[in-house]
Every structure is written in structure tokens, then in C-alpha cells.
Amino acid sequence: MKKFVFIFFFLFPLAVPAGISAQTLPVKPNIVFILADDLGYGDLGSYGSTKIKTPNIDKLAQGGSKFSQFYANSGVCCPTRAAFVTGRYSRRVGIDEIISISGTSSQKGLAASEITIAELLKSKSYKTGIIGKWHLGHQTQYNPTLHGFDYWYGVWYSNNYNGGQIPLMRGTEVIENPADLSMLTHNFTSEAVNFINQNKNIPFFLYLAYTAPHAPLVAHPDFAGKSLDGTYGDVVEEMDWGVGQVVAEIDKLGLRNNTLIVFASDNGPAIANAPQGGSAGPLYCGKGTYYEGGIRVPFIANWPGFISSGRTVDKIGAIFDLYPTFAKLTGAALPMDRAIDGQDLSSVIFGNGERPDDDIAFTWLSKNKAVIAGKWKLMTQSSGGQTWMAECGMVSNPQMLFNLASDIGEKNNLSSQHPQLVSFLSNELTAAQNSLNQPGNQPPVANFSVSPGINALTVNFNAGASSDRIGTVSKYTWNFDDGTSSNSKEVSHTYSANGKYFVTLTVEDNLGLTDGRLYELTMPLSVTASPTPPATKSPTPTSPAGKAGDANGDGKVDGLDYVVWLNNYNKTVTTGAAGGDFDKNGKADGLDYVIWLNNYNK
């Protein structure tokens, strides 16, 4: 019964235009995910480009939030796309390389046993469509219409296959062969607009996967020669036009306040194709590698009234995180018979929370390549396995450690200065690999809080926030970076001197899988000197008195306040309205939701 009440309150307040009563609220939001192909981190105006004009995508960023540290799940397209549609590491899915048009990999594709995001949303009565590039197998059994998508218009694979002579599909039928590459962006855009129009009265999920700006670059005549960055810029500006057409249709139909729009790229720019490749901006290298230029990508989320406008989010995230995030937004239950490696980003996108698990691993052809934990990154090899990316340089270092906060261009290898971090992150990579050998088990998530102890050199650590979606956390191992450790869930530790310490927690579940979390501690502990401790929910600042339903103190009652209430739903609250307890009865419950709803947008 408790679960039923939670779902009721979660689904109904997602979109509340002013003046609409609770009885007429839409039950589920529409979701549009737009994925570019080989777009670089520095190829959008909102990410620093001065040569390429992208006003429509930039407008989404201005009216929503852009992420500065968001990752594709691979340095190339197929693994990232597999991770997105399944919410799982691509190696777990069996697509850990590029699916070619011939050779051994040409027989690979998405297994029927995988539960795609489309299938998950169909369980909540969504109409699902993919328009554009699939590239998760081009045999008949891999057709996206057999994997939960009600509609497909697009191409099987990249537009450079077979010398650019590729078929254009609608469902299971070839409708043009070869496809006119100069018309693909226009055709994809037109089909997307039609899909939205045809499904305007029901919840829909649209996966719009442009082939642009993947080479070969062929711009539509209306855009050819128009940009300041050659044909590459022409193609990107045409794609931006397409995004603008899609958003305009959503606006015209009055669906904007009930539609989440997300934009990203599948990997970094193909700089090896210069001048037909893009720009990684301040990042090093590009597509095919696991340097930042190959995997850090633009990411923009827009939903008026629910996502703060003009915000830059510096929290970590990855494309496979969209699977559990979309599931939570729609009330779809995650499958419990398999690991879902992505993490729910709701509290990050809609508030000021943290990604539940602070690290993301990267593999290529079953080999560990890199792991990122917040600002720290460990690389085991410089290349992603692509010989055509050799211009980024091969190094003799078996491991490279970078502080991405101070060295976004990955120029300074700090592995010799911080051997304890190298050891910890190496263990994290090993743990990620080990989890792939237990297909029915979900690795735990390490998390803990930090608070001052009885004196200036004493700190209290509490691992109670650690969790395990499928199993149970059975073991806790602390390393305090001063030669001491502990196996307690909660521990009070006293340091002998002031200084900086890298505190780590490793948790183990009942089947032997592990996960770790890193925390940089500065002693003596103070609010200003120490980093923000890991959190699983959004912070709740004090709300001004007299504004019922305003949890975050910004003077408005909007979707961000709802997220605060949701994160604390059915929990004891000691901070009053700042924790979603608007009637101050010590609990965030349904009565508080009614207060929020009655004051929404006022």
C-alpha cells in the first residue's frame, strides 16, 4: 500500500501549468532525447564555439541546464548507444566495439533478452519512436521495432559505411537505397515533427539520433557554405536548425511544460578526420580514445518550470544514467533480474543533488581503459584501441592519474604523487570488471557522511547511506590515509595532525561485489575548508517564512520545490519547509504535497 501511494504522488505533479487542477494533470511527461553523432565538446555556442552558430541548442541551455562534466559511455558510437538503451555497461550488453558492415563484429547486435528503455516506457503506455541512426546490429533480428520501438525511420549504421551507399529504412522496409545523405538531417527532422504531432495526445518517448556531424559531411543546399567553420560547421548548423524545428513543434502543440528535452553527443569529435572533424574545445584528443576529448560530451536538459534556467552543472553524469532517470520520471520499475549500471540523475538534473555512485568505468574490447571518480581520473592506456587515433600519442606509463578540476586538458600525470589514489581507482576498475561476471547481481553503492567530532582533529564517518539495489551491504572497509583503517559502519576517527587526507570507503555486498567512494578531507574540519560530502539527495536550504510550498527559498513554488519534497517523501524531517515538510508536522507526506500543489507557480 505504501508503494502505491508513492507512485500516485510521484506521477501526478510532474507538470503543473498554472490554473490546472489536480484532476486534469497529465500523468506522465513526454521525453525527447536528441543524440548527435561525433559532435565535439567545443562545437556548440553554449560550450564556447565562436565559429559555429547553434542558437536553437544554445536556447535549450539558456532555458535549462548544461553539464560541464558529462560523459558518453565510450569513445565510439556503438557502445554508447548500447549503454543508453539498456542502462548497462556496453561490455555487459556484448557490444563493446564498433559493429562493422563486414567481418566478425558485423554479426553482433542487441540481444532480445535486453530490456530497452523503449520497452520499459511501453510498460507505462508510452508511444515510442526512434528516428535516425540505430547502429546496434543490422541483421533482421536487431531491428529496433523488435526492441520496444513502435516506430523507426532511419539508417542501420553510420553514414560512411559502404562508401556512403546506405539504405534508408521505415520500420522493416527499405524506402530509399542509397539514401540521399544531403537530405538525412531534413528527413529526420520532418519525421520527428510528424511523430510528435501524431502522438500529441498520449505520452511519447522520441529518440532522435542524427547522423550529423559524422563524416562524410554533406550539408543540405540551404546550409552549404553558410558557416564560418567549413562543411563541418554547415552540417552542425543544419542539425541545430533541426533541433529548433522539433522544439517549435512541441511549443506549437502546447506540450512544452510537459516535455523533457535532452541533448547530447555519442562521443567526442573525430579530429583524425580534420578538417571534417570537430573541436574538443579545452579537452585533449578526441573520438576513439578515453582522454576527455573522446568521452566528455555536451549535455543539456530542458524542461520549463522544473529545470533551472541558465544553470551550469558541474556534477558527474553519463549517458547510461538516462535509463534509470527516465524510469523514475515515468514511474517505470527497473528490472530486478539484472544489473542496471546507470544511476538516477533526477536529484542532479532537477536540484542540487549528487550522482549516487561517484565513479564511472570505461572499457574497450573487454579491457579496462579508464575510471573517473569526481575530479579524479585514472587511465590504464592512452588509446581506445583505434590505430587511427595515434596522433594523440602513445605513452609508456601503464597508468596516468589526472586531476580534472585543475587539469582539464590532461597535461599533468600525477600517478607518482598520489599512489594511494592510483591504488584505490585501480581497485574500482577491477571491481567494475568483476561485476560484469555476475549478470544477475547489482554492485553496491558506497556512500557516507562526514561530520565534526568531539575535538578539532576528530571526524565522524557514517556509511549508512550506502546501498545495494538487489543484494545487501555486508562489509565496510575504511582507509583514513594515515596508516589506519576500520571495518565499522559508523566510526569516529582522530587524526594526529592537520593536513589533507584521501579517505576511502569500500563496501561489499553479500555476493562479493564491491564499490568504493573517495573523499578529500582537510583537517581541521570546517564548513569552508572541507569539500561537500557525498549525498544521495538534494540539499535543502532554509525556506523563507510565509511562502507555503517554497522549499529552496527562491521565492517561487515550482518543480524544484517538488523535487525537495519528493526526495524526503515519507521521511522524518527536522528542517521544516526546507525539507519539504510545509505543514511542519515532522514528516514530508501527502499533506505537504497538497500545500505545494495549491501554491504551484504562485
- Beta carbons of 193 and 173 less than 8 angstroms apart: no
C-alpha cell at 86: 539498456
Which burial class, exposed, middle or buried, applies to 431 when counting CB atoms under 10 A from its CB (0-12, 13-18, 19+)? buried
135 in active site: yes
- Beta carbons of 59 and 271 less than 8 angstroms apart: no
Distance CA 384, CA 78 (A): 14
Q: Which residue, among 105, 187, 180, 103, has the nearest Cα to 142 in the 3D structure?
A: 105
Would you say the C-alpha torsion 408, 410, 415, 417 has a positive or negative sign?
negative
**Those residues with Cβ within 8 angstroms of residue 373's Cβ, 6 or more apart along the chain or in another chain:** 358, 359, 425, 428, 517, 518
Task: Look up residue 585 and give its DSSP letter.
Answer: S
Classified as helix, coil or strand, 249 is: helix
Distance CA 115, CA 492 (A): 44
**Those residues with Cβ within 8 angstroms of residue 143's Cβ, 6 or more apart along the chain or in another chain:** 152, 171, 172
From the candidates 77, 78, 285, 392, give the one annotated as an active-site residue.
77
Cis peptide before 216 (omega within 30 of 0): yes
Distance CA 555, CA 602 (A): 9
Distance CA 519, CA 505 (A): 9
Rounded to 10 degrees, what is the CA torsion of 245, 247, 250, 254?
Answer: -120
Nearest-10 crossing angle of helices 590-598, 559-567: 180
- The residues facing 227 across adjacent strands are none
C-alpha cell at 501: 587526507
From the candidates 78, 135, 138, 214, give the one annotated as an active-site residue.
135
Q: Which residue, among 371, 515, 512, 505, has the nearest Cα to 441 in the 3D structure?
A: 512
Distance CA 68, CA 473 (A): 32
The C-alpha R_g of the chain, in whole angstroms, comes to 24
Distance CA 404, CA 284 (A): 11
Classified as helix, coil or strand, 116 is: coil
Task: For the beta carbon of residue 544, count every other beta carbon within 10 angstroms.
Answer: 11
Distance CA 32, CA 272 (A): 31
Catalytic residues: 77, 135
